[in-house]
Structure formats: structure tokens, C-alpha cells
């Protein structure tokens, strides 16, 4: 049976080996390759990864700076950003540079695995940046306002002040919006919103 090659690029060896063990134990027919830096990854020969899990903050060339190099070396590989930081500007830049998805290191392992399974199950080539990867969700005008401010990096409290809403009400809008976008974190929401063209 054909194996699916996955490349992990992360300069934290402990995190890298932990993720490799989880993927190896939970996914069928995968072959895991590891690199501690972008330079090391680009020197790998004789592999054609289907999926690249790329840490945002690498020593040397950062993950964000390396997306285009990875896409040139492996054009059909799906590049997925992995980060402990939930920053909308990081997510936006990753989308601009051609990353296909964003996974937070703070996610529960089962949620991370679900995202990876979905990416592997979609056997098409990476979508062009301008193409939506799923149907546009229906958001209320208020949810669109909240989403726009969330994408600017504002907290629920700051969004509430800007829109003259209670923090509790904003939290409700954020939860409804996450459900509509089928994501579980603010950074994933920003990523999805940029991909779907919901915000500029």
C-alpha cells in the first residue's frame, strides 16, 4: 500500500518528535520526515511530501519567509502553518504567501489530527490563493463587523467598545462566527476569512 509522506519542519525537537509519534500512531500509511530548519528541509532529496507542517518561528529563515521556497521545491505539497501564536497578522501573511491552512500548537491533539486528516483526504492540488476552498458561510452583518475587527487583532473587550456591545454579546457573536466558518480558534477564523474573501 502506498504511503503518504508528511514533512515536519520545527526547530523544537521535542515538539517535532511528539507530533511525529502522534501522526504515526493515528494515521494509516504515513511516512514522517523531519527537519529542524528550513535550510535542512530544502536539502532533503528523494522525497515528495503531500503535506508540509511548517512552524512559523524557525531559527534562521522563518517559516513565513520559507513558504515560497517550499512551494517551488514541492509544488503539489500542501503547506500548513503551525504556531503557538494566535496573531491575525501572522495568519494573514501566511495566506498571502501561499499557505493552505493554519494549525495552532495549543489545539487538542484530536482536533489537530482531524484537520490533518481533512487536508490529506482532499487529494486536489493546493488551491490558488484567490480561490475559495469552501462555500462562503452566511454571516449576519454584525458577525461580519465582529470578524473584521477580530482580523485586526482586537480582543473581545476592544471589539465591544468599538461596536458599543457588551463583552458577553461579542463572545456570543464570535462563537456563532466560529461555528459558521467551521473553525475552533480565532486564528483559524482569520485564516478562513482571508481565504474565503470575507475580508480584505
pTM (2 d.p.): 0.66
Residues 166 and 156: their CA atoms lie apart, in Å, by: 9
pLDDT score recorded for residue 50: 93
The set of cell numbers assigned to 144 is 461580519
Cite the beta strand spans of 47-92 per DSSP E.
51-55, 78-83
Each residue of 41-57: pLDDT tens digit?
Answer: 999 988 999 999 998 88
Instruction: Report the 10 Å Cβ neighbour count for 25.
Output: 8
Each residue of 1-55: pLDDT tens digit?
Answer: 678 899 999 988 888 899 899 999 998 888 999 999 989 999 998 899 999 999 8
Domains of the chain, with CATH numbers? 4-121 (3.40.50.2300), 141-195 (1.10.10.10)
- Residue whose entry in the numeric block shows the C-alpha cell 454571516: 139
Q: What is the mean pLDDT of the chain?
A: 82
Phi (first) and psi of residue 54, to 5 degrees: -115, 120
The set of cell numbers assigned to 13 is 525537537
Each residue of 115-159: pLDDT tens digit?
Answer: 888 888 875 544 433 333 445 677 888 888 888 888 888 889 999
Each residue of 74-90: pLDDT tens digit?
Answer: 998 999 888 876 666 67
Amino acid at each position: 500500500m502506498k504511503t503518504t509522506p508528511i514533512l515536519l519542519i520545527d526547530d523544537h525537537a521535542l515538539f517535532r518528535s511528539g507530533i511525529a509519534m502522534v501522526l504515526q500512531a493515528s494515521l494509516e500509511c504515513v511516512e514522517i520526515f523531519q527537519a529542524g530548519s528550513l535550510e535542512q528541509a530544502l536539502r532533503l532529496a528523494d522525497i515528495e511530501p503531500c503535506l508540509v507542517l511548517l512552524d512559523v518561528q524557525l531559527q534562521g529563515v522563518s517559516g513565513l519567509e520559507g513558504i515560497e521556497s517550499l512551494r517551488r521545491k514541492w509544488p503539489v505539497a500542501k503547506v500548513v502553518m503551525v504556531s503557538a501564536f494566535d496573531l491575525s497578522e501572522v495568519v494573514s501573511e501566511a495566506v498571502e504567501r501561499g499557505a493552505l491552512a493554519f494549525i495552532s500548537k495549543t489545539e487538542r491533539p484530536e482536533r489537530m489530527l482531524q484537520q490533518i486528516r481533512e487536508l490529506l483526504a482532499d487529494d486536489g492540488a493546493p488551491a490558488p490563493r484567490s480561490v475559495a476552498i469552501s462555500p462562503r458561510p452566511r454571516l449576519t452583518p454584525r458577525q461580519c463587523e465582529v470578524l473584521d475587527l477580530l482580523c485586526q487583532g482586537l480582543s473581545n473587550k476592544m471589539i465591544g467598545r468599538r461596536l458599543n456591545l457588551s463583552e458577553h454579546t461579542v463572545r456570543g457573536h464570535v462563537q456563532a462566527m466560529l461555528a459558521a466558518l467551521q473553525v475552533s480558534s480565532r486564528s483559524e477564523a482569520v485564516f478562513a476569512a482571508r481565504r474565503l474573501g470575507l475580508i480584505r
